[in-house]
Structure 1
């Protein structure tokens, strides 16, 4: 219903708009150091909120299509509209917004703090609309997206993705080398699954062939 990406995209919409507006509307009368901390914290939070949306949104492109050209086109459109929108907003500020806030005391509206408060309001609204439009516009594609792969390749072994086996609390993989967050790697192949309070249960062998191991090692 919601997919793997869209919950993050929807959840980030309002926080992105709210924190971006607050970033351009600092409290008045604060000391410089307090304003510095305010802007520092909000700058970090804004970046975090944008990342919560941007990372899953970017990850949608490879799942929407298998065609290389279509994937390239999707990324090209993303970059084009992103940069064009940002540049258009800058032009709007200098041609329209700043002149509106020119006063006798502040002839250049660029130096009027109220102009930036208004900019923050407009930009936050546009961010909210664009995030929701992107999320809602791709929502109908959720049922057609590829599911997460059950098995992956890591350091010459096979990795069982977490969260794909209901009731399994840990997955231990036997492979060739190293340690994984999902379990320990052992010299022989096979998966061991652990339930809470139970002894390990052997779930099946996934030993790759020697030829396949050589191919995997060659890629690392």
Structure 2
């Protein structure tokens, strides 16, 4: 009998469970960074908000080269351990170290030195995060090939992601008063490294997916960017992630100054969003399998935009709690469909080119996702500068409070409108999607026959 890894059968439930567990540290590290890094450097260390915003905007340029380079390397890698897993094993510990240093600038530094510390550690953290997480993400279309399998595995991945996100956004206000920001960074870094190593150990790659000669760098990039469905998915991703990052980054400010929430109440509100999402995840997964990703995404985007609007009117914690629950219900749908759209684009590309190029596609997608942070930083800088927000004031002026409402409601809703416009134009749905799936099955069957011919002795 052939070994399951050899012939490319799906891995077992245990392996898939450990692979999916990589979503927990990817969310834990990234969401805590996205949610609190500006708050930590501006509100805690009292570094000028404009300077921090400039650094966060600048580091998006580094992402453009970083993600593309790692994705291209990954597609070209050929080892006995696979294309993706070696990078996960090699990068897990350096990622943990650089994450921890983000939250531990040496004492006694001047503001300029603190900014230089932020600049250097952000760049290093992002490189190792990309090295590990891009390769982990690129395994998803390879591990789960059929749409039904993908919807199921996406639900497991997103369950882990929600747990990681709850810990990332709700735990810090409870922990930093007890163990400090440096202790918080060490704790999250340790959890992240353990889960990433377990995920790399549990993942299974299909050797036949590495068959074929990869394109040279520029042709690979050019072919991907010329792919119209991919361009529309990119626009969807940047719009949705801009909404996520803006909402999560602004929420600590919004809860503190608009809702007058203490640290415990802020944690409870953030946790409520993701508890609601966790409860809704299975239902959205079933809808995605029944409706196809495009339709599910349109419904989820509309629901998310509608759920955000009461944040503009909320004046206390109780009103904010009801809105947070509604936002969480819609958030679950977006989390599922974002996992499913890009693998469809990669499948369609395989039909067109005969190559599996997850690394390049996830690399370009990674650029867009990280650029969302840069766009969010620009939005923060403009809103704070124009509304007179001052972290030294216990009570903010009315214009600053309206600016915070805009950041948690109006701008994320605008992101949903842009995403919906891109999804309306997305062509892989209905009969076109069915034809693509039929052609994909033929392409993969031919590749599998060439890679692993039938042994007459096993007949």
3-state SS in 1 of match to 2:166: helix
Alignment of 1:96-107 (within 5 A): 97-100=175-178
**What residue is the counterpart of 1:4 in the other structure?**
83
Separation in structure 1 between the aligned mates of residue 82 and residue 207 of structure 2, nearest angstrom: 8
Alignment of 1:74-113 (within 5 A): 74-95=153-174, 97-100=175-178
Query: Which protein has the bigger helix share?
Result: 2
Higher relative contact order (CA 8 A, sep 6+): 2
**What residue is the counterpart of 1:190 in the other structure?**
none
Does residue 188 of structure 2 align to residue 130 of structure 1? no
Offset at residue 145 of structure 1 (A)? 4.3
Further displaced range: 124-133 or 58-67: 58-67
Separation in structure 1 between the aligned mates of residue 150 and residue 131 of structure 2, nearest angstrom: 21
8 Å contact 2:144–2:153 — kept in the other structure? Answer: no
8 Å contact 2:96–2:190 — kept in the other structure? Answer: yes
8 Å contact 1:6–1:56 — kept in the other structure? Answer: yes
8 Å contact 2:94–2:128 — kept in the other structure? Answer: yes
| The one of 35, 46, 55 aligned to 2:125 | 46
Separation in structure 1 between the aligned mates of residue 122 and residue 110 of structure 2, nearest angstrom: 18
Does residue 116 of structure 2 align to residue 63 of structure 1? no
Separation in structure 2 between the aligned mates of residue 11 and residue 57 of structure 1, nearest angstrom: 12
3-state SS in 2 of match to 1:46: helix
Give the TM-score taking structure 1 as reference length.
0.57
| The one of 95, 104, 116 aligned to 1:37 | 116
3-state SS in 1 of match to 2:118: helix
8 Å contact 2:141–2:150 — kept in the other structure? Answer: yes
Offset at residue 12 of structure 1 (A)? 1.0
- Point out where structure 2 has 5 or more consecutive residues left out of the alignment: 1-79, 221-350, 353-431, 433-459
Offset at residue 99 of structure 1 (A)? 4.7
Separation in structure 2 between the aligned mates of residue 121 and residue 180 of structure 1, nearest angstrom: 41
Offset at residue 45 of structure 1 (A)? 1.6
Pick closer, same or farther for the CA change 1:67–1:145 going to 2, 3 Å: farther
Pick closer, same or farther for the CA change 1:30–1:61 going to 2, 3 Å: same
Pick closer, same or farther for the CA change 1:19–1:99 going to 2, 3 Å: closer
- C-alpha root-mean-square deviation of aligned residues, in Å? 2.6
Offset at residue 180 of structure 1 (A)? 4.3
**What residue is the counterpart of 2:52 in the other structure?**
none
| The one of 144, 147, 155 aligned to 2:209 | 147
Pick closer, same or farther for the CA change 1:145–1:67 going to 2, 3 Å: farther
Does residue 95 of structure 2 align to residue 16 of structure 1? yes
3-state SS in 2 of match to 1:79: helix
8 Å contact 2:176–2:184 — kept in the other structure? Answer: no
Separation in structure 2 between the aligned mates of residue 89 and residue 147 of structure 1, nearest angstrom: 34
Give the TM-score taking structure 2 as reference length.
0.29
8 Å contact 1:64–1:145 — kept in the other structure? Answer: no
1:66-93 Cα deviation digits (max 9, x unpaired)? 2111123223332331232122243333
Separation in structure 2 between the aligned mates of residue 76 and residue 44 of structure 1, nearest angstrom: 31
**What residue is the counterpart of 2:214 in the other structure?**
161
Separation in structure 2 between the aligned mates of residue 5 and residue 32 of structure 1, nearest angstrom: 40
Separation in structure 2 between the aligned mates of residue 40 and residue 77 of structure 1, nearest angstrom: 35
3-state SS in 2 of match to 1:87: helix
